[in-house]
Amino acid sequence: MRIPAVVDQLRKIAGRDAVLDRPEDLMLYEYDAGVRKCTPAAVVFPQNTEHVSQIMRLASSAGFPVVARGAGTGLSGGSISPEGGVVLAFARMNRILEVDAENMRAVVQPGVVNQTLSDNVAHLGLYFAPDPSSQKACTIGGNVAENSGGPHTLASGVTVNHVTGMTVVLPSGEVVRFGGKAAECSGYDLTGFFVGSEGTVGIVTEIIVKLLRRPERVATLLAIFETIDDGARTVSAITAAGITPAALEMLDGWTLRAVEAACHAGYPLDAGAVLLIELDGLAEQVEEQAEAVREVCLQQKAREVRRAKDEAERALLWKGRKNAFAALGRLAPSYYSQDGVVPRTRIPAVLQFIEGVAKKYGLRIGNIFHAGDGNLHPLILFDPRDPKQLELVQQAGRDILEYCVSVGGSITGEHGVGLEKRDLMPLLFTDEDLDVMLSLRNAFNAAGVLNPGKLFPTTRMCAETRGPSSNPVLIREGM
């Protein structure tokens, strides 16, 4: 089908002003927060589940790919359309449909911004726990697609631990409902399966999420170390002391200097590393744990352990952490972020390995990570105008992820596989593992209409399924 014909159909479904097809408009939808780009054929803004259903019926019959998109803050290329595809953007499905304080649940549309939900239930003493660094912009639909995490998922769990039900539109246009407000529902846990499926099996149009009660007390500590090794060893020492902090983040000295220059968060400029440690809960418990953590840090050669005096100081420390990626933009035109995971006892070893990789390729690599759960975000700085640099950076990233897998870890802890890491999946999974996952994808999305080319290695997609390579795409006039 040609683009103008599809655009006409999309306008009939969603409204005249709900479809973009001019090149200058489409440019805004050709990238996410990662390094890949591809311009879609059109962007449509559905306003309700019925719109999504009609669009999927059209896509399935006309055979064009559809890619769901929240705010485009993802780091794995998950929301980038293949050439000739249609982006389903959820900016207009951004309503909080219900807040059920009694059952501590909210029902939201996928375009609701993560932070907005917490802001809207704050007066009830509640909040939504998953808190990706992009929470001021990223949407809950995107969080569901990627099973996003964030600093506070150490104790609270990632997105899947906070979703109990959803409404989903399948590629056929059929609308199905999984789960509900109850902690467990009858039947297979399809809610759990769809969370983190990266938009490859269905499009979520309503989400039932858990809300948590705000803790009575929060203590935020900044432990300052002369060396990154001392900081890294402290992570497992805290765990070994029987303490699970709400958050346990690490920044190396090089990164925190960039952060300080950008955010003036109060980080020390001369440190080798810092740990940002947050404890929350009952006041008595938090005070005891804060003291215990301070002792562990000092035993592990912390130079100093500071505690945020008030909410403003706490917010400033977190502002520094959550804006760390952006702060590194002051040092180089671009960065390539990795998302590997290692068992937390391997953090000192993986940091040494990353240092070796930086030397090997002559690159600058900053380390910001969710140390408590071993989720690393090495940020490799580069200039995208130099294709050779991008190649080196990607090879360095691959080396780091291979190392993570070799010590029992994973290639992604919270960013998803998407386009970026699809060809690294065989590091973790056997052919048979991938075959089983592919048969499940095909159970819902056999024609590959939904988000083709994501999550599975390209070799498997071409060889064994009707994937993107054989999927008809929209043809521009004049092509």
Residues 104-163 that bind another protein (CB under 8 A): 104-105, 146-147, 149, 153, 157-158, 160-161
Among 17, 22, 24, 102, binds another protein (CB under 8 A): 102
Beta bridge partners of 376: 369
User: In angstroms, what is the minimal distance from the CB of 447 to another protein?
Assistant: 14
Q: Which of residues 419-458 bind another protein (CB under 8 A)?
A: 421, 425, 428-430, 432-437, 439-444, 455
Residue 16 host element (H or E): none
Instruction: Describe the crossing of helices 228-240 and 283-299 by its angle, rounded to 10 degrees.
Output: 140
The nearer residue to another protein, 27 or 440, going by C-beta atoms, is 440
User: In angstroms, what is the minimal distance from the CB of 262 to another protein?
Assistant: 27
Contact status, residue 230 vs residue 291, Cβ threshold 8 Å: no
Among 54, 133, 139, 197, binds another protein (CB under 8 A): 197
On the CB side of 383, CA atoms within 13 Å amount to 3
Q: Does 216 bind another protein (CB under 8 A)?
A: yes
Give residue 458's identity as a one-letter amino acid code. Answer: T
For the sheet containing 273-281, what is the strand order?
Answer: 302-307, 217-225, 273-281, 247-252, 365-370, 375-382, 334-337
The nearer residue to another protein, 19 or 204, going by C-beta atoms, is 204
Q: Does 294 bind another protein (CB under 8 A)?
A: no
Q: Which of residues 387-416 bind another protein (CB under 8 A)?
A: 408-416
| Nearest residue to 155 via CA among 250, 275, 251, 280 | 280
Number of residues forming the site for another protein (CB under 8 A): 89
Q: Which of residues 160-179 bind another protein (CB under 8 A)?
A: 160-161, 165, 170, 174, 176-179
Among 343, 348, 384, 426, binds another protein (CB under 8 A): 343
Task: Point out which span in 14-22, 101-109, 110-118, 353-361 binds another protein (CB under 8 A).
Answer: 101-109
The nearer residue to another protein, 331 or 428, going by C-beta atoms, is 428
User: In angstroms, what is the minimal distance from the CB of 435 to another protein?
Assistant: 7
User: In angstroms, what is the minimal distance from the CB of 221 to another protein?
Assistant: 19
On the CB side of 104, CA atoms within 13 Å amount to 13
Among 15, 63, 268, 281, binds another protein (CB under 8 A): 281
The two three-digit tokens of residue 24, written as one number: 């200058």
Give residue 24's identity as a one-letter amino acid code. Answer: E
User: In angstroms, what is the minimal distance from the CB of 15 to another protein?
Assistant: 30
| Residue 402 burial by Cβ neighbours in a 10 Å radius (0-12, 13-18, 19+) | middle
| Nearest residue to 214 via CA among 104, 289, 132 | 104
User: In angstroms, what is the minimal distance from the CB of 22 to another protein?
Assistant: 35
Among 417, 419, 450, 473, binds another protein (CB under 8 A): 417
Burial 189-228 (b: 16+ CB within 10 A, else e): ebbeebbbbbbbbbbbbbbbbbbbeebeebbbbbbbbeeb
Write each residue from 9 to 38 as x if it is in contact with another protein (CB under 8 A), else as -, in one continuous string.
------------------------------
Instruction: Describe the crossing of helices 347-361 and 387-406 by its angle, rounded to 10 degrees.
Output: 150
Q: Phi, psi (5° rounding) for residue 417?
A: -90, -55
The nearer residue to another protein, 379 or 455, going by C-beta atoms, is 455
| Nearest residue to 370 via CA among 133, 16, 103, 117 | 133
The DSSP output letter for 161 is G
Q: Does 98 bind another protein (CB under 8 A)?
A: no
Q: Does 384 bind another protein (CB under 8 A)?
A: no
Among 187, 362, 387, 478, binds another protein (CB under 8 A): 187
Q: Does 180 bind another protein (CB under 8 A)?
A: yes
Residues 6+ apart with CB under 8 A from 296: 234, 237, 238, 241, 243
User: In angstroms, what is the minimal distance from the CB of 316 to another protein?
Assistant: 25
Q: Which of residues 349-378 bind another protein (CB under 8 A)?
A: 370, 373-375
User: In angstroms, what is the minimal distance from the CB of 230 to another protein?
Assistant: 17
